[in-house]
Amino acid sequence: MTLLPPLNSLRAFESAARHLSFSKAADELNVTPGAISQQIRTLEEFLDIKLFKRLNRIIILTDAGQLFLPLLAEGFARITEAVELVRKRQHNVPLTITAPPSFISKWLIPRLAKFHSLYPDIDVRIDASNRLVDFVREDIDVGIRFGTDEFSDLNSVYLFCFDLIPVCSPDLLKQGQGLSSPQDLAHYTLLHNDYDDVDSSWPDWDMWLATAGVDSIDASRGIFFNQSEMIMDAALEGQGVALVASVMAAGEIAAGRLIQPFETRLPVRLSYAIVTTEQKANSPKVSAFRDWVLAESAYLREAESLTKH
């Protein structure tokens, strides 16, 4: 393998040869003319050939210098092209987000246009999944995870927690006997979230009915789902009354597609957090997304703070 001369000496020669001036090369490279002269002397000693003829007040290229300059300039141009290509590719790599399907469909997607308007140069790729991902081995930048506050070996920032509330379609009430009191739930199908594998203490209809002071309804009956977006869809279709996350139902309630017939709420001890690796935590696109999510969810943390006080 051919031993190459120092890069600084090559840069000094290319600039001085292009300008035919050590002073102009010094200005371009932000060094002194003496440093340029020394770098070129080092290069000439390395090559064992003269590259400049030093005349009174001017310099001109030798035959070897004239041969060397265009090839070296082309080499620097290719290096610059390679650097810009890598930078552009890195800039254009999408921000890959993994999050539970319910979070994506009910909270993130309605707000995603805001993020795109703020950061139009950041493309987004979404992985809707509840699975545990390997941020090191998989092409995942950031995740929204639901669980306890402990996410080992990850950079984690708390987002919000929530309560469970009963919801149903307005059309369901038109077809049924109405829901003037919790006891009227006896006339409706209860829609359940089967989350025992996530949290054995997950609040359920039995707990909600007890909190509402109802002991005459069999809370073990109804339809069970293991995905929260399914129970929300079933409620929207008028299949029954569902116990769902307040924050995920907020948009449907505001739009009038769901109603909350009773104010009784059950707090959930688990919470949402935004997680990534320590290595990726400070990347511009991850930082932008994290700051945006925190800003968008600030109202939920403020509501939690008011409730605690």
Which CATH number is 98-156+272-295 given? Answer: 3.40.190.10
Backbone angles phi, psi at 83, to 5 degrees: -65, -45
Q: What is the pLDDT of residue 41?
A: 93
Other beta carbons within 10 angstroms of residue 122's beta carbon come to 19
Interacting residues of 140 by C-beta distance below 8 A, sequence separation 6+? 96, 97, 98, 127, 133, 134
Q: 7-91 belongs to which CATH class?
A: mainly alpha
Decide whether 7-91 matches 98-156+272-295 in CATH topology.
no
Domain locations in the chain as residue ranges: 7-91, 98-156+272-295, 163-267
**Angle, in degrees to the nearest 10, between helices 63-92 and 7-19:** 110
Q: 163-267 belongs to which CATH class?
A: alpha beta
Q: What is the pLDDT of residue 91?
A: 57
| Cα 281 from Cα 136, distance rounded (Å) | 13
Residue the block writes with tokens 């769901």: 258
Q: What is the pLDDT of residue 151?
A: 64
pLDDT tens string, the chain, 309 residues long: the values are 568 888 899 999 999 999 999 999 999 999 999 999 999 999 999 999 999 998 888 899 999 999 999 999 898 888 887 777 666 655 568 899 999 988 999 899 999 999 999 999 899 999 988 877 777 778 889 999 887 666 667 888 999 988 999 999 999 988 777 889 999 999 999 999 876 555 666 789 999 999 999 988 998 899 998 888 899 999 999 999 999 999 999 999 999 999 999 999 998 888 899 999 888 898 899 999 999 999 999 999 998 877 665
